Structure 1
Amino acid sequence: MKVIGFIGPSGTGKSHRASWVARERGTDFIIDDGLLIKGNQIIAGVSAKKESTKIASIKRALFIDKKHTEDVAKALVRYNAQSLLILGTSDGMVETIAERIGIGPLDEKVYITDVASEYEIKQALATRREQGKHVIPVPTFEIKKDFSGYFLDPLQIFRRKGKGSYQLVGEKSVVRPTFSYMGNYTISDYTIYQIVEYVTSNIPGVSKISRFRAENRPDGIYIEMDLILIYGYTIKPLLREIQEKVSEQIKHLTALNIQRMNVVAKSLVVENKK
């Protein structure tokens, strides 16, 4: 396997340029902050940016955890990867990652200064320092399942093809890690309930929520709710509609990942006809 190191200090824009550097060297496989990425998909690993402390984040990025390392190594074999781009903050970091995964010495090293100007690097550092933003080189929908509660926005990357013409190179996701100096934030279960109550109250066929429970875990939200429905509506399609609309609004308003939503039709009421 051909192993390429992409090296530069933290916050200088490596992840932003990773897809382009990989494409220029003929590889679809990237290791970035604990994740193994193929094209626009995460195929193995756990993101260091999901860790709750900076120390834990460093350990994750360096593949200290045995199971994490084995999962990524097995995925490289399973996908028959012929080349791989490894991102790191130093020569030693990328060499350590390659050694731990068992893929041998590096064949090539690319430095951030080779692909970005001094001005671009300064801009990237300022964004990291002032806004706490980090880029992951995959679309937002690909990491929704792995991240819960700290998305900022998707970033679309274009390349100029000619005068007034641009080509979409790829989409990346901008996140703020939980260990960011910007601090933590919490969305209470009652806030989730208020969103759910508002959504369901505007769905024809729903009378009210009789029981509601939301559990906010590290991997996302688990919701259980009992509903009183109005007699005369087909129950199964109605419950499916409730799940879809509630899920859509919670994701849109909070960026939280819903892992499970159990909806129970507890009872029926008959509306009085005037």
Structure 2
Amino acid sequence: MEVYALVGPSGTGKSHRAVMLAGYLGCEVIIDDGLIIKGDRIIAGVSAKKQPTRIGAIKTALFIDAEHRRVAGEAIAMQAPEKILILGTSRGMTERIAAGLNLPNIKEYIHIDQIASAKEIRKARVMRTQHSKHVIPAPIIEVKKSFPESIIDPLQVFMRRKGLRGRRSWTEQSVVRPTFTLYGKFTISQGALGSIASYAATAIPGVVGVKHAHIIREGQGVTIELFVVANLNFKLDELSREVQRVVKQQLENMTGLTVKYINVTVADIQVGELG
């Protein structure tokens, strides 16, 4: 199985061009926003665009829920496609999706600006930011199953399949307005991310407290600098690695963000028994 990734910031037209790119590459399956799509059918998954909050949408797109991940993985295994296309806002996001669904390493990354002009990307951004319109690369009859009470507009896309000279066709996509856009903007502050990281760290036996948590945001990814107070009865190297593991897991599960690095500094130690 070969896995490809289409990468680009949110609202730049990835879903709109996914079917065309999949046809060109020969990918039978597209993974987009929590859905597993084969041809003109949604064969498994839950749409992130149906979630009531942006955090819920991110978690769904990353297949964080165990049952969602299991069903999606089984559907892919049953289809046994030779090629798959994953859509994501970053390399890290597509790699997390591939790893979560037990897919092979990504063979090639295609950035949105390789297949769309600057003018097309600007137009897509206007549709997203001003009109909150999102594309699902599946026909209305399929999308209606997930959005039965929503207004869904058809979008015709012209595609050509690689290796089939003269084989050209029109395919239908759907334009929807996700539930979470009805509530306006939602952001997570640096302070909130620091609080989550600190709380997760102090729950670990051997960590007495966190003196400071510094968060660096880079798009959908974060780098964390933690300065902890540790109990001397614990091995500091093992304790630091456990802090990295737990904080990464908790922060990614709660926010859907990708944790790139966690640097742990033991800023102070406490001598004696805990408690």
> Quick check: TM above 0.5?
yes
Aligned to 1:58: 58
Q: Secondary structure of 1:151's match? A: coil
Shift, 1:144, TM fit: 1.1
Output the amino acid matched with 1:104: P
Output the amino acid matched with 2:142: E
Aligned to 1:169: 170
Aligned structure 1 segments of 4 or more residues deviating by more than 3 angstroms: none
- How do 1:17-166 and structure 2 match up within 5 A? 17-158=17-158
CA distance in 2, matches of 1:152, 1:77: 30
Matched length: 177
CA distance in 2, matches of 1:118, 1:145: 34
Output the amino acid matched with 1:178: T
* Deviation per residue, 1:209-230 (Å, 9 max, x gap): xxxxxxxxxxxxxxxxxxxxxx
Q: Secondary structure of 1:150's match? A: coil
Aligned to 1:190: none
Structure number with greater Rg is: 1
Q: Secondary structure of 1:44's match? A: strand
Matched-pair contact (CA < 8 Å) for 2:23–2:159:
no
Q: Is 1:179 equivalent to 2:176 in the alignment? A: no
Question: Cα–Cα, structure 1 residues 157 and 16, in superposed 2: closer, same or farther, change >3 Å?
Answer: same
Matched-pair contact (CA < 8 Å) for 1:150–1:177:
no
Q: Secondary structure of 1:180's match? A: helix
Shift, 1:158, TM fit: 3.2
Shift, 1:80, TM fit: 1.4
Identical aligned residues as a percent:
50
Aligned to 1:199: none
Shift, 1:159, TM fit: 6.1
* Deviation per residue, 1:96-139 (Å, 9 max, x gap): 00000011211111110000000100000011111100000010
Shift, 1:151, TM fit: 2.5
* Deviation per residue, 1:170-196 (Å, 9 max, x gap): 11000000111476xxxxxxxxxxxxx
* TM-score normalised over the length of structure 1: 0.62
Gaps of 5+ in 2: 161-167, 185-275
Matched-pair contact (CA < 8 Å) for 2:20–2:159:
no
Matched-pair contact (CA < 8 Å) for 2:136–2:173:
yes
Q: Which moved more, 1:76-85 or 1:113-122?
A: 76-85
Output the amino acid matched with 2:176: V
